[in-house]
């Protein structure tokens, strides 16, 4: 990796220009009124940092970091560890991590008949649909009224992760906002907003909402959440289909390890349960047809599996540099060890038959994280209840970890369906909760395991105890995107 280039004065003036424009915005607009973390407060911390100042209001320490030799940066990176200090979810089972995981442990299914629109003419009429969600206190009234659901899920889960991490308004005011970032992605973005825009255009051009384009973009949730909090560090979104959540988590962790940020909100969100979304998955012939018994539809590794069940929701982790978390007395749920990506480079909707893309992703994750494969004894698999995909992933897992007698594998999708770009993040929350509680949730509907899998490796129909050493969470996406991330219990030295 090349050494960082030095910061020049013209580049440094950009944040100041941004500050000036945002102050002007504050004077002329009624900004967000969420009861948690008011938007304009970011600037107070920006202008009150300690240390020597240059003419742009930034400390010389900030510039000194950018001038460090590459060797020193490598040493610094090795010293920076990443902690999970907060979690937030919006799911078909519940919107609080503890209740969500308790339902998973009890084998409760969140899959039911779709109620948000008339789907009587569709061959599949079931989903992991969120029936109700209160955004009161989390989302400003103007956004709550007109924003796309995927964005509302991001804002709600994101702020719940902060609350879970003990980040109050007062604590947030003490943060260095330049070192706080948001990286929450989406596979499909504002599908409902696109649909509404098309319907409005059929009536008149004047009926198209001026925020149609902003509310469609996958980055809008990260952007508005950062505005609410005043966080001015890394801020963008990643879209890698159903690997989106893991992609965002891993990149957010890299920002912390590199020193770009001390704290990051990261994860994924999707809300594709609309007529066009359901029709698209039907056309792919990817969905289960068990309309008469929705809770039995998602059945990873079971002989009678007949396709995935689409779901919706969001998952957000609060990642924090370990020493930063300790200094503020944060509750550390787990340590993020690392991860990796790879590509099958094969077909859009099919994984490569040999599974080597998955194998290389897992092995790279282990190598880069310094984790021995025998230490990985729990895997939250991608397994989405498809006849081909479940088996290919299983075989890849056995290639990497088949010699580990303690290995246990389950799939959260058996109870909530496939949450698309949110799946990796929500399953990361489930993985961290497994570490926290010492309990693994069951594989719902694993009544007749495929003869090509080892039933002893898969968690059964009841929750199981496990002292987790290292946990792996997989997410794979259309187009051959593979991602694996690793967590471990936090051990205080």
- Tokens matching residue 449: 């395991």
Q: What is the pLDDT of residue 21?
A: 42
E-strand ranges in 250-347 read 263-270, 313-321, 334-343
- Cα–Cα distance for residue pair 112/136, rounded to 1 Å: 25
- Using CA atoms, how far residue 307 sits from 35, 121, 284, 413, in Å, is 42, 19, 11, 12
Cβ atoms of 133 and 312 within 8 Å: the answer is no
Contact indicator for 439, 105 with CB cutoff of 8 Å: yes
pTM as predicted: 0.85
Two tokens, residue 467: 């002292």
d(CA 43, CA 431): 36
Give me the DSSP letters along 282-315.
HHTT-B---TT-GGGS--TTBTT---B-BB-EEE
Classify residue 166 as left (phi > 0), alpha (psi -120 to 50) or beta. left
Nearest in space to 130 (alpha carbons), one of 383, 426, 353: 426
Spell out the per-residue pLDDT of the chain, length 493, in tens. Answer: 444 333 333 333 333 344 334 444 344 444 333 444 443 343 333 333 333 333 333 333 433 333 444 554 444 445 799 999 999 999 999 999 999 999 999 999 999 999 999 999 999 999 999 999 999 999 999 999 999 999 999 999 999 999 999 999 999 999 999 999 999 999 999 999 999 999 999 999 999 999 899 999 999 999 999 999 999 999 999 999 999 999 999 999 999 999 999 999 999 999 999 999 999 999 999 999 999 999 999 999 999 999 999 999 999 999 999 999 999 999 999 999 999 999 999 999 989 999 999 999 999 999 999 999 999 999 999 999 999 999 999 999 999 999 999 999 999 999 999 999 999 999 999 999 999 999 999 999 999 999 999 999 999 999 999 999 999 999 999 999 999 999 999 998 7
Residue 53 CB: number of other CB atoms within 10 A?
Answer: 12
The tokens describing 238, both together, are 């990643």
Q: Are 129 and 202 in contact (CB under 8 A)?
A: no
Residue numbers annotated as active site: 242, 382, 418
Q: Is 248 within 8 Å of 183 (Cβ atoms)?
A: yes
Residue 476 has which token pair? 């794979």
| Structure confidence at residue 11 (pLDDT) | 33
Closest by CA to 420, choosing from 254, 264, 191, 121, is: 191
User: Which pLDDT score is estimated for 492?
Assistant: 84
Q: Are the C-beta atoms of 421 and 187 separated by less than 8 Å?
A: yes
Q: How far is CA 281 from CA 113, 123, 187, 306, 313, in A?
A: 16, 11, 14, 14, 17
Q: How far apart are CA 307 and CA 309, in angstroms?
A: 7
Altogether, the residues listed in the chain come to a count of 493
3-class SS at 196?
A: helix
């Amino acid at each position: 990796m090349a050494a960082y280039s030095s910061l020049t004065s013209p580049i440094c003036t950009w944040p100041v220009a941004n500050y000036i424009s945002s102050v002007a915005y504050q004077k002329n607009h009624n900004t967000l009124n969420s009861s948690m973390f008011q938007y304009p407060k970011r600037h107070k911390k920006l202008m009150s940092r300690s240390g020597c100042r240059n003419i742009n209001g930034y400390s010389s320490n900030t510039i000194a970091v950018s001038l460090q030799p590459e060797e020193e940066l490598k040493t610094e990176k090795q010293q920076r560890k990443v902690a999970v200090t907060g979690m937030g979810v919006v799911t078909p089972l519940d919107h609080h991590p503890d209740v969500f995981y308790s339902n998973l442990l009890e084998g409760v299914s969140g899959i039911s008949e779709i109620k948000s629109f008339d789907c009587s003419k569709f061959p599949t009429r079931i989903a992991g649909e969120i029936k109700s969600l209160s955004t009161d206190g989390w989302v400003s009234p103007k956004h709550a009224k007109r924003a796309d659901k995927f964005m509302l899920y991001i804002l709600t889960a994101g702020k719940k992760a902060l609350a879970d991490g003990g980040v109050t308004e007062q604590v947030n005011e003490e943060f260095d906002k330049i070192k706080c970032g948001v990286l929450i992605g989406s596979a499909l973005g504002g599908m409902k907003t696109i649909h509404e825009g098309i319907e409005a255009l059929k009536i008149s051009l004047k009926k198209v909402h001026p925020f149609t384009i902003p509310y469609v973009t996958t980055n809008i949730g990260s952007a508005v959440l950062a505005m609410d909090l005043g966080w001015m560090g890394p801020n963008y979104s990643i879209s890698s289909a159903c690997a989106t959540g893991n992609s965002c988590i891993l990149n957010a962790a890299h920002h912390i390890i590199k020193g770009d940020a001390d704290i990051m909100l990261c994860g994924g969100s999707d809300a594709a349960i609309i007529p066009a979304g359901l029709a698209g998955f039907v056309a792919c012939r990817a969905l289960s047809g068990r309309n008469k018994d929705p809770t039995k539809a998602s059945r990873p590794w079971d002989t009678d599996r007949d396709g995935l069940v689409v779901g919706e929701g969001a998952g957000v982790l609060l990642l924090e540099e370990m020493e930063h978390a300790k200094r503020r007395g944060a509750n550390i749920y787990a340590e993020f060890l690392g991860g990796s990506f790879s590509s099958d480079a094969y077909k859009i909707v099919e994984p490569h038959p040999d599974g080597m893309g998955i194998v290389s992703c897992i092995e790279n994750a282990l190598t880069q994280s310094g984790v021995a494969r025998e230490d990985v004894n729990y895997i939250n698999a991608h397994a989405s209840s498809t006849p081909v995909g479940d088996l290919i992933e299983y075989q890849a897992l056995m290639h990497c970890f088949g010699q580990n007698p303690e290995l246990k594998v389950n799939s959260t999708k058996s109870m909530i369906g496939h949450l698309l770009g949110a799946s990796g993040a929500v399953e990361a929350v489930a993985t961290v909760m497994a570490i926290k509680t010492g309990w693994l949730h069951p594989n719902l509907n694993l009544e007749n395991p495929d003869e090509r899998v080892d039933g002893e490796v898969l968690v059964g129909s009841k929750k199981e105890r496990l002292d987790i050493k290292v946990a792996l969470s997989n997410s794979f996406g259309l187009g051959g995107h593979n991602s694996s991330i690793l967590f471990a219990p936090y051990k205080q030295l």
